[in-house]
Amino acid sequence: MDLDGIKALQKKLSNLIGVSGYEDEVSSFILSIIEEEGLADKAWKDPLGNILAIINGQQNDDRILFDAHTDEIGFMVSHIDPKGFLRFVPVGGWDTRIMLGQPVVIIADSGEQYHGIIGSIPPHLSSASERKKVVTIDKMYIDIGMTSKEEVESSQINVGTVGTLIAPFLELPNNMVRGKAFDDRTGCNVLIHLMRNMKNREELKETLLFNFATQEEIGRFGAVTG
């Protein structure tokens, strides 16, 4: 097992940004690997952004499907207040207990990235009862360092702009790693390595189908259409 190669690919996949519905960066990267390494007899991107690939077997009637999803949870800007703070709604399922203080990245409509942090009313300005409650997303905002709505919009950050959390890929003891979007870039990593292992196999009875699916976090749409 090429553990170094597995971790290297995991790092590349983890560091890509692919919020549900905006997976182009991830899907293009995966398709480029498949095409450049010749990992499939046929590979293409469908209208929903899924990457589909086929490795032909001797018995075309017997098929096995492998599926992993390319998208990650994120958020979408829902309001920009006069002071430049961003209100947002979740894209996918978030655990609101861990969101406050998290660093984030906003992908402007121009493609430029802006960094910020999730904030809310600080504890010393909250009532005793409020301090005992988990802060809900509607009480949170994102501070990207801009001081007016006009400054934000001139940077091509608008209602509907998306972003996600920042969690740099790091290696830990005992061959452990951490990073963002391991759900499900790890699955994508597994499928790519499976394709590499199957590439030069002389006897393959079943035809293998691969679907790197989009929009799993908001309804498994890529898996349904793929």
Looking up tokens 């009637």, which residue turns up?
61
DSSP letter string over 176-206? EEE-S-HHHHHHHHHHHHHHHHHTT-S---E
Of these residues, 36, 37, 202, 216, which one is catalytic? 216
Residue pair 83/202 in contact by the 8 Å Cβ criterion: no
Could you tell me the two tokens for 62? 């017997």
CA distances from 117 to 47, 79, 85, 163, 196 (A): 34, 16, 10, 11, 39
Burial bucket for residue 171 (CB in 10 Å: 0-12, 13-18, 19+): exposed
Annotated active-site residue 151? The verdict is: no
Looking up tokens 């800007």, which residue turns up?
77
- The span from the CA of 118 to the CA of 205, in Å, is 52
SS3 state of residue 77: strand
The three-state (H, E, C) secondary structure of 84-122, written as one string: CCEEEEEECCCCHHHCCCCEEEEECCCCCEEEEEEECCC
Q: CA-based angle 158:164:166, to the nearest 5?
A: 130
**Catalytic residue positions, numbered:** 216
